[in-house]
Amino acid sequence: MTKVDKIEQEIRRLPLEELTALRKWFREFDAEAWDREIEEDIKAGRLDSLAEEAMETHRKGGSSRL
């Protein structure tokens, strides 16, 4: 049995109050991890081509005000 399997079993046994707390914690944890990933991608230049493509579309009139 993997760690994930064990964690899944434990989660299934949580009382509602603890499950609610876990959901809140995991949303915050996941959001922070996502933010770090995006920041690393930006610093490494992995999003540069997408940004340039968006700017080129905008320069050609392919965008509108929100």
* Cα 29 from chain centre: 10
Distance (Å, whole) CA 22 – CA 18: 6
Q: Token pair 């995991």 is at which residue?
A: 26
Which tens digits make up the pLDDT trace of 23-49? 999 999 999 999 999 999 999 999 999
For CA atoms 20, 26, 31, 34, the dihedral sign is: negative
Tokens of 36: 């770090």
Report the C-alpha gap between 61 and 51 in whole angstroms: 15
Q: What is the mean pLDDT of the chain?
A: 97
Q: Report residue 65's pLDDT band, with 50, 70 and 90 as the boundaries.
A: confident
